[in-house]
């Protein structure tokens, strides 16, 4: 008899897990997928080009929902799990329906981090996590003045998308340079110049202090830590994410910053697992797609009982980063903190706005930053992944794969 597997969360991680199990292991599980959003199975990576009006919602499908439903997946959309009772293996939905489960997976994702100073919900305070957020931004009046808080990947993609929709956008970023977790100062300066040319304005080394609403449910202006005030029609928060763990914590699972899992995505309770942005493994959380897809592979193997034979445990690996902005080519991989003490190889062509920095330690490539010409990014990433000894061609490494192979 098939067991009942319940997945809480209809985002990319939960949908990918349900799809893979339903296609490969139909005989093992009847699957129920519970989604807080009414829209299920779309590709959140495509939110940025959707906001920039480069694609439509019809281009965002991640899976074939009809095919999934024909393969023992029951999709409950537009509903929330309000309570999980681990001792009785039951959960309660917002419509008071009670479901029993044999195995349970938390794939509850995360939410945009909102300012602590906000004591109420403002209708013009928006995150950038789902289709509903994009719809709110798409409905803003023409030529709105918008403040984007956070100069990371999401913040910059939101800023460019809003500029392309005809708005006036200022990005407030607390660091001295953009993408400070992925880029050094030289690459960030080139990126900032490109974005300014597209119409984005920046305030660096400053942060949000207070939302000023003058007694209404709409933000009129914001104050910054420097004392500066900005009038605004809308504030978009992209300064970090908060894993959604409230139900898991209430159920009694071990939760730190996120739901604590081991290398097989097992939580502190037997037959209960967690996946994606709501997980914490070895004190690290996850916001990029690549490690989450690795988690899906590991959990599928664990749930079918063959993980010890053909799929190793989950491991934290270097993950390359790209900015999803048309016309800007950027590639970064490696931990900037580990760059210290390494030998840097740098190429700069300011006139062409090309920049390349490679960092080598103990004969191994540990990091790469490419701006402008990113054609060799994949090859550099392979060298890092494979822990390749680059000593024989270190003097030619900066010139890329073709030159190294030819030499």
What local confidence, expressed as pLDDT, does residue 308 receive? 58
Tell me how far apart the alpha carbons of residues 288 and 292 are, in angstroms, rounded to a whole number: 7
Sorted by sequence, the CB contacts under 8 Å of residue 361 that are 6+ apart come out as: 338, 341, 342, 343
**Count of positions (residues) in the chain:** 407
What local confidence, expressed as pLDDT, does residue 310 receive? 61
CATH for the stretch 3-111+242-310: 3.50.50.60
Task: List, as one string, the DSSP characters of 216-249.
Answer: SSS--EEEETTS-EEE-SEEEE-S-EEE--HHHH
Q: Could you give the 3-state DSSP secondary structure of residue 139?
A: coil
Could you tell me the CA-to-CA distances from 187 to 170, 193, 330, 358 in Å, in that order?
Answer: 20, 10, 9, 12
User: In 3D, which of 201, 150, 206 has the Cα closest to residue 179?
Assistant: 150
What local confidence, expressed as pLDDT, does residue 26 receive? 76
Task: List, as one string, the DSSP characters of 270-313.
Answer: TTEEE-GGGEEETTEE--SHHHHHHHHHHHHHHHHT-HHHH-PP
- Six-digit token pair at 138? 């798409």
Domain regions of the chain by residue span:
3-111+242-310, 125-239, 330-406
Q: Could you give the 3-state DSSP secondary structure of residue 67?
A: helix
For 181-218, letters b (16+ CB in 10 Å) and e give: ebbbebbbbbbbebbeeeebebbbebbbbebbbeeeee
Tell if the pTM clears 0.85, that is, is over it. yes
CATH for the stretch 125-239: 3.50.50.60
Tell me how far apart the alpha carbons of residues 242 and 221 are, in angstroms, rounded to a whole number: 25
CATH for the stretch 330-406: 3.30.390
- The vertex-194 CA angle with 192 and 197, nearest 5°, equals 105
- Six-digit token pair at 176? 């001295």
Note whether 176 and 259 are within 8 A (CB). no
pLDDT digits (tens, 9 = 90+) for 107-116: 999 999 998 7
Tell me how far apart the alpha carbons of residues 138 and 174 are, in angstroms, rounded to a whole number: 27
What local confidence, expressed as pLDDT, does residue 339 receive? 75
Q: Which alpha helices (DSSP H) does 305-370 contain, by range?
A: 307-310
- Which residue in this structure is represented by tokens 């192979």? 405
What local confidence, expressed as pLDDT, does residue 309 receive? 59
What local confidence, expressed as pLDDT, does residue 307 receive? 60
pLDDT digits (tens, 9 = 90+) for 54-76: 999 999 999 999 999 988 899 99
Low-confidence ranges of the chain (pLDDT < 70): 117-120, 307-311, 407
Tell me how far apart the alpha carbons of residues 158 and 31 are, in angstroms, rounded to a whole number: 35
Note whether 207 and 224 are within 8 A (CB). yes
Q: What stretch of H or E contains 401? A: helix 401-406
Q: Do domains 125-239 and 330-406 have the same CATH topology?
A: no
């Amino acid at each position: 008899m098939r067991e009942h597997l319940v997945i809480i969360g209809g985002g990319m991680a939960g949908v990918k897990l349900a799809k893979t199990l339903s296609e490969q292991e139909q005989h093992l599980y009847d699957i129920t997928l519970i989604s807080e959003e009414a829209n299920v199975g779309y590709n959140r990576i495509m939110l940025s080009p959707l906001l920039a009006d480069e694609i439509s919602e019809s281009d965002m499908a991640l899976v074939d929902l009809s095919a999934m439903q024909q393969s023992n997946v029951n999709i409950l959309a537009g509903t929330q799990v309000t309570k999980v009772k681990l001792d009785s293996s039951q959960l309660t939905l917002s419509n008071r329906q009670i479901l029993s489960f044999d195995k349970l997976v938390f794939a509850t994702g995360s939410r945009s981090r909102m300012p602590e100073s906000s004591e109420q919900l403002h209708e013009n305070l928006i995150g950038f996590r789902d289709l509903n957020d994009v719809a709110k931004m798409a409905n803003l009046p023409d030529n709105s003045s918008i403040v984007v808080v956070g100069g990371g990947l999401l913040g910059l993609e939101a800023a460019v998308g809003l500029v392309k929709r005809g708005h006036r956008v200022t990005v407030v970023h607390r660091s001295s340079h953009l993408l400070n977790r992925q880029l050094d100062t030289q690459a960030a300066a080139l990126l900032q110049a490109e974005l300014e040319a597209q119409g984005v304005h920046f305030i660096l080394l400053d942060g949000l202090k207070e939302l000023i609403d003058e007694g209404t449910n709409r933000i009129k202006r914001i104050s910054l830590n420097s004392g500066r005030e900005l009038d605004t029609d809308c504030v978009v928060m992209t300064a970090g994410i908060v894993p959604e763990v409230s139900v898991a914590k209430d159920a009694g699972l071990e939760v730190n910053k996120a739901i604590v899992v081991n290398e097989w995505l097992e939580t502190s309770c037997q037959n209960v697992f967690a996946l994606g942005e709501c997980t914490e493994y070895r004190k690290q959380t996850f916001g990029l797609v690549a490690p989450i897809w690795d988690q899906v592979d590991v959990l599928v193997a664990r749930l079918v009982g063959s993980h010890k034979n053909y799929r190793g445990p989950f491991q934290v690996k270097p993950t390359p980063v790209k900015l999803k902005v048309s016309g800007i080519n950027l590639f970064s991989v490696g931990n900037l903190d580990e760059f210290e003490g390494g030998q840097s190889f740098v190429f700069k062509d300011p006139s062409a706005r090309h920049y390349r920095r490679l960092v080598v330690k103990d004969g191994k490539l540990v990091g790469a930053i490419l701006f402008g010409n990113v054609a060799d990014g994949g090859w550099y990433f392979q060298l890092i992944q494979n822990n390749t000894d680059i000593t024989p061609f270190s003097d030619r490494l900066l010139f890329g794969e073709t030159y190294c192979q030819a030499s």
